[in-house]
């Protein structure tokens, strides 16, 4: 036995959280419930409609695609994936196949069923409107729980959309595992956060090494061949210091002898020695890591191979 099924999604525009799709069969009982586009209903009205659907035994299918999937395949394909999962969920629960899909919007998700795309469908077809309510309430619940796990972004209020509160949280805390790194505002916040943390780490390293008696010769020295974070005179040695804001990166740094990063540092150091006439000093390469307020200084952490 088959039936028509309405499908809608929510969560394409947010910077965080999943995109969620829902599907609801086109049953006559829906018309008596006051079903309308979820955006036109207050939360209490949506919840009352869901409860009434439960009381009448109206089934629903729900599917989602998480932020990692969104970043990997893009938001449009992730939306179609969520719709596919929602349809599979409904057909598994009911053991009935959809004879026709009524999809909100103008893009066919190609789910292997006869499909009619309806622009503004959540205001025209009751089953699509019901699907929009199911998807909205489900996703709001997900975002409320994420708000408890990741305070400071207001997920429970903004559902991951780019409100002032959310953007301020990104600037202050950086991205969470639930953020969509492929979305430009998140990407910009991540880059800005790295720059900010890097600058703070350099400030801390500079202060600590000067207290240890080293004489600063250059900071963020940029030559034709590369850039150096901090350069000190330490007695008869020239200490070239690479600063990292995570202690977990030390192992990787120690293994970079043949990588481009250290080659750039080496070439920039050679240029600095030439320009500042520091040939009488022995050169060493240090690493300073700053993580969670803890500073570690690794003297002579890397030696170039000739």
Burial group, residue 101, by CB count within 10 angstroms (0-12, 13-18, 19+)? buried
Contact of 84 with 112, CB cutoff 8 Å: no
Per-residue pLDDT of the chain (306 residues; tens, 9 = 90+): 679 999 999 999 999 999 999 999 999 989 888 786 667 788 898 899 999 999 999 999 999 999 999 999 999 999 999 999 999 999 999 999 999 999 999 999 999 999 999 999 988 999 999 999 999 999 999 999 999 999 999 999 999 999 999 999 998 888 899 999 999 999 988 888 777 788 889 999 999 999 999 999 999 998 887 889 999 999 999 999 999 886 444 444 444 334 677 888 999 999 999 989 999 999 999 999 888 778 999 999 888 765
Where are the strands (E) in 156-281, listed by range?
215-222, 227-234, 237-244
Domain boundaries, the chain: 2-170, 197-302
Q: What is the gyration radius of the CA atoms in the chain, in angstroms?
A: 28
Same topology for domains 2-170 and 197-302, yes or no? no
Number of Cβ within a 10 Å radius of residue 32: 10
* pLDDT (0 to 100) of residue 128: 96
Q: In this structure, which CATH number among 3.40.710.10, 3.30.450.40, 3.40.1350.10, 3.30.70.330 belongs to the domain 197-302?
A: 3.40.1350.10
* pLDDT (0 to 100) of residue 251: 47
* pLDDT (0 to 100) of residue 1: 65
Model confidence, pTM: 0.70
* pLDDT (0 to 100) of residue 272: 93
CATH, domain range 2-170: 3.30.420.10
* pLDDT (0 to 100) of residue 246: 63
Burial group, residue 232, by CB count within 10 angstroms (0-12, 13-18, 19+)? buried
* pLDDT (0 to 100) of residue 247: 43
Helices 164-173 and 184-211, packing angle to 10 deg: 30
Question: Please, which residues have CB within 8 angstroms of residue 95's CB and are 6 or more apart in sequence?
Answer: none
- What is the torsional sign of CA 81, 87, 91, 96? negative
């Amino acid at each position: 036995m088959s039936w028509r099924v309405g499908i809608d999604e929510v969560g394409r525009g947010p910077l965080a959280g999943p995109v969620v799709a829902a599907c609801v069969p086109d049953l006559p009982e829906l018309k008596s419930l006051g079903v309308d586009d979820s955006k036109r209903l207050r939360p209490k009205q949506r919840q009352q409609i869901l409860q009434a659907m439960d009381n009448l035994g109206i089934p629903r299918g729900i599917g989602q695609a998480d932020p990692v999937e969104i970043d990997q395949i893009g938001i449009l394909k992730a939306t179609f994936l969520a719709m596919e999962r929602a349809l599979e969920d409904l057909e598994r629960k009911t053991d009935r196949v959809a004879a026709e899909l009524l999809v909100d919007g103008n893009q066919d998700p190609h789910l292997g069923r006869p499909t009619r795309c309806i622009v503004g469908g959540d205001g025209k077809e009751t089953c699509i409107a019901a699907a929009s309510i199911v998807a909205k309430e489900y996703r709001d619940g997900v975002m409320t729980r994420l708000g408890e796990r990741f305070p400071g972004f207001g997920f429970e209020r903004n559902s991951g959309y780019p409100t002032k509160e959310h953007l301020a949280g990104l600037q202050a805390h950086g991205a969470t595992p639930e953020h969509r790194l492929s979305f430009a505002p998140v990407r910009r916040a991540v880059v800005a956060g790295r720059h900010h943390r890097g600058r703070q780490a350099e400030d801390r390293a500079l202060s600590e090494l000067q207290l240890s008696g080293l004489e600063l010769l250059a900071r963020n020295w940029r030559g034709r061949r590369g850039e150096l974070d901090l350069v000190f005179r330490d007695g008869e040695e020239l200490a070239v210091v690479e600063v990292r804001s995570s202690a977990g990166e030390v192992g990787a740094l120690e293994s970079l002898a043949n990588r481009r990063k250290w080659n750039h540092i080496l070439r920039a150091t050679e240029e600095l020695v030439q320009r500042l006439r520091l040939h009488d000093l022995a050169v060493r390469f240090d690493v300073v890591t700053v993580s969670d307020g803890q500073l570690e200084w690794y003297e002579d952490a890397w030696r170039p191979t000739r």
